[in-house]
Amino acid sequence: MYLSVAFLCFFFTFLIFYKGLHKRANYLCMRGSFMAAAVVWGFLLVMSTEVLSRFSALSFWPLVKFWGIASVGAYLIYVYLISRAKPVFRIFRSVPVTPETAAKLSRFEVVLLLYIAFIFVSTAVIALFSAPNNWDSMTYHLSRVAHWIANRGVSHYPTNVTFQLYINPGAEFALAHFLILGGGDRFANFVQWLSMAGSVVGVSSIAGRLGADRRGQFIAAALAASIPMGILQSTSTQNDYAAAFWLVCFVYYALILMDAPKKTTALAAGISLGIAVLVKDELSFNPRPCVRGDIVCCDTPIVLASFNPRPCVRGDTNYAVKGTGGSFVSIHAPA
């Protein structure tokens, strides 16, 4: 199945961070390597969509070639980083075992792990065998992707459903890759499902960065996995969990950046936030994080921008803009 070519790129990118770069960055544990690989993979997905669309080439074989080249490139980088003296196909090497990873799981942690696994497996089965059928998926999430596939690009097209054209398209970029490489909508729900899994990993990592022990990180992961709306959306083609995942990535790298400022960490945080805004415009805000105790916060108001975008900022006043559904959304301009 050609969709696996894209995941091969993610797998080898994960190995680059986990096996090849763990000595250079102490936060590149398995979960940290997962987050780093997700950022690289997301960046490649967005760039490939934009570039191929520019040449009306967003179709099956160009995507297969792109992800195939990216996978081979990631594998060669991994081999180079590990050791040119080692056998080329020996891709699994041992990473130094830390006291935390060496300790056996307690019964409570095993129960939480099984609980999370149950949620993952049950939602994955539903996502695989249930066709997308909610209102948002039918009106614009999937319909705009169908237009893109037919037009071989993400340019605007004639439609009377105008919000297909201006609502942020980040999650649908991934949907387009899944539909084109998967040969249909069988795996369309897995954009959200994978975002749920990544969010659980990221939340546990954030808990660890904030000082939680292993037990606390398991609790954080279980709470994140059991959000009722999250369970429901993980089996759909909406974009809320995708936006949540990229915001989790941003917070994770923002915490690392505060402890050890590095250009690569700042780049990862910037890419995460950029993709988050590309997925959902409610995440548009001025991200100047500061530390107050152990809490990451932003010193400017969050601008909720889920409306027909015709804003007029007037000094420090608060005003309302009529939304697409007839409601009003307050826009708080920074003083």
Does residue 12 lie within any of the structural domains?
yes
- Ramachandran quadrant class, 266 (left: phi over 0; alpha: psi -120 to 50; beta: rest): alpha
Q: What is the pLDDT, as a whole number, of residue 238?
A: 93
Does residue 160 lie within any of the structural domains?
yes
Question: Long-range contacts made by residues 135-144, C-beta under 8 angstroms, separation at least 24?
Answer: 136/236, 136/237, 136/238, 137/236, 137/237, 137/238, 139/164, 140/164, 140/167, 141/171, 141/172, 141/175, 141/237, 141/238, 141/239, 142/175, 142/185, 142/188, 142/237, 144/169, 144/172
| Residue 156 three-state SS | coil
Does residue 218 lie within any of the structural domains?
yes
Q: Using alpha carbons, select from 265, 262, 284 the residue that is nearest to residue 273.
A: 284
Q: What is the pLDDT, as a whole number, of residue 29?
A: 84
Q: What is the pLDDT, as a whole number, of residue 134?
A: 86
Does residue 185 lie within any of the structural domains?
yes
Contact 332, 314 (CB under 8 A): no
Distances (CA, A) of 137 to 44, 95, 171, 190, 235: 24, 43, 12, 13, 11
User: Whole-prediction pTM value?
Assistant: 0.82
Does residue 317 lie within any of the structural domains?
no
Does residue 326 lie within any of the structural domains?
no
Which residues are within 8 A (CB) of 25 and not within 5 positions of it... i.e. 6 or more apart?
Answer: 32
Domain holding 61, by residue range, is 3-298
Does residue 90 lie within any of the structural domains?
yes
Residue pointed to by tokens 């988050």: 276
Q: What is the pLDDT, as a whole number, of residue 109?
A: 94
Q: What is the pLDDT, as a whole number, of residue 206?
A: 95
Rounded mean pLDDT for each run of 10 residues along the chain, 335 residues in total: 93 89 65 95 97 96 97 94 53 42 80 97 96 88 95 94 92 97 94 97 94 94 96 94 96 92 93 96 61 40 35 36 35 36
Q: What is the pLDDT, as a whole number, of residue 23?
A: 58
Contact 206, 255 (CB under 8 A): yes
- Amino acid type, 92: F
Does residue 323 lie within any of the structural domains?
no
Contact 3, 182 (CB under 8 A): yes
φ, ψ dihedrals at 310, nearest 5° = -130, 60
Domain count, the chain: 1
Distances (CA, A) of 105 to 102, 163, 210, 225, 330: 9, 49, 21, 19, 48
- Buried-state track 176-205, b at ≥16 Cβ within 10 A, e below 16: bbbbbbbeebbbbbbbbbbbbbbbbbbbbb
